[in-house]
Structure 1
Amino acid sequence: MTRRLRRRHRDADPITFDFAPMVDVVLLLLIFFFLTSTLGARQNALPLDLPRASSSVQETPDLPVVSVNRAGQIFLNGKETTLTRLGALLRPLAATSGGVVGLRADEGGRYGTVVGVMDEIKKAGGTRLALGTETPEAAP
């Protein structure tokens, strides 16, 4: 009987823990959180003084957004562009969003620049505008 116990104990494999799958999962989670944190903040990165509106609807995050700051600089999804290049850059984005384009313009900006941007959005295939405003609850 003692021989049996000794043999069974010698044949058993030592217990090991493989860390490779756990490291893979942790790295994938880190990559996911880095990407989502940078993509989610793209539209609010520009400091704009938006006009206030008492009624508004939550903005859809997958719309292409054109922003115009107080100095008249134009941004498409957070990247600076010019009025002449805006149409070419916006055309494929407007097609994938069903013609809906977001427009965020600083309250103190030039009216002529905003109208020029609206004209380029229309030429690029934008059929509907989602205007960015600040709700009274979000106001400081």
Structure 2
Amino acid sequence: MRRKPRETITPDITPLIDVVFILLIFFIVSSVFKKEELALVLNLPSSKAQELEVEPKEISLEISKDKLAIYGKEVSIEELDLKLAEIKDKKKNIIVRIDKDVIYEKIVKVLDNLQKYELNNLSLVTKKD
């Protein structure tokens, strides 16, 4: 009795590789790359100052004529006070975007709140001239 040579059974992995590539392409195409969370449409004043890199862990504050936003979410002046009280790291950068038509009194109120919680590391954002 003669034995047949034993064949090794190997699974065909080509379909598996195809599925993996299709999933990879799906996730790349469907992912959203977050830029900045901005809640208000602002008309920023222009400046000739040099650009600074914005880090994602910075505090983003926006002020328009009738609205206020922190971290991309609209808040009232009282809610802003509560949000600022929650900040533990006093050396965090605060990126402030102020519409050029905002009255000075509103800006002073926000700056007073920042000073109250010793958040003094401010950067004012302008559009490039």
Q: TM-score band (shorter)?
A: 0.7 to 0.9
Aligned residue pairs: how many?
Answer: 125
Structure 2 stretches lacking a partner, 5+ long: none
Query: Offset at 1:99?
Result: 4.0
Structure 1: stretches of 5+ with no match in the other structure: none
Structure with the largest fraction of strand: 2
- Determine which of 72, 81, 86 is the counterpart of 1:78: 72
The CA RMSD over aligned residues, in Å, is 3.2
- How far the C-alpha of 1:15 sits from its partner, in A, is 3.3
CA–CA separation in structure 2 for the residues paired with 1:103 and 1:128? 10
1:1-140 equivalence runs, <5 A: 7-8=5-6, 11-17=7-13, 18=16, 22=20, 26=24, 29-30=27-28, 33-34=31-32, 37=33, 39-43=34-38, 46-62=40-56, 63-69=58-64, 71-93=65-87, 95-96=88-89, 98-136=91-129
Q: 1:50 to 1:22 in 2, by over 3 A?
A: same
**8 Å contact kept, 1:72–1:110:** no
The 8 Å contact of residues 64 and 97 in structure 1, kept in 2 or not, is answered as no
How far apart in 2 are the matches of 1:97 and 1:132? 20
Instruction: Give the AA of the match of 1:13.
Output: I
Q: Is the CA contact 2:37–2:72 (under 8 Å) kept in the aligned structure 1? A: yes
TM-score (normalizing by structure 1): 0.71
Runs of 4+, deviation exceeding 2 Å: 18-23, 25-34, 90-93
How far apart, in 2, do the equivalents of 1:97 and 1:57 lie? 23
Counterpart amino acid of 1:16?
A: D
Give, in whole Å, the separation in 1 of the partners of 2:25 and 2:113: 42
Tell me, in whole angstroms, the C-alpha distance in 2 between the residues paired with 1:88 and 1:101: 16
Q: Which amino acid aligns with 1:123?
A: K
Asked if structure 1 preserves the Cα contact closer than 8 Å seen for 2:94 and 2:122, the reply is yes
- Could you state the TM-score of these two structures normalised by the residue count of structure 2? 0.76
Deviation of 1:32 (Å)? 9.2
Identity of aligned residues (%): 19
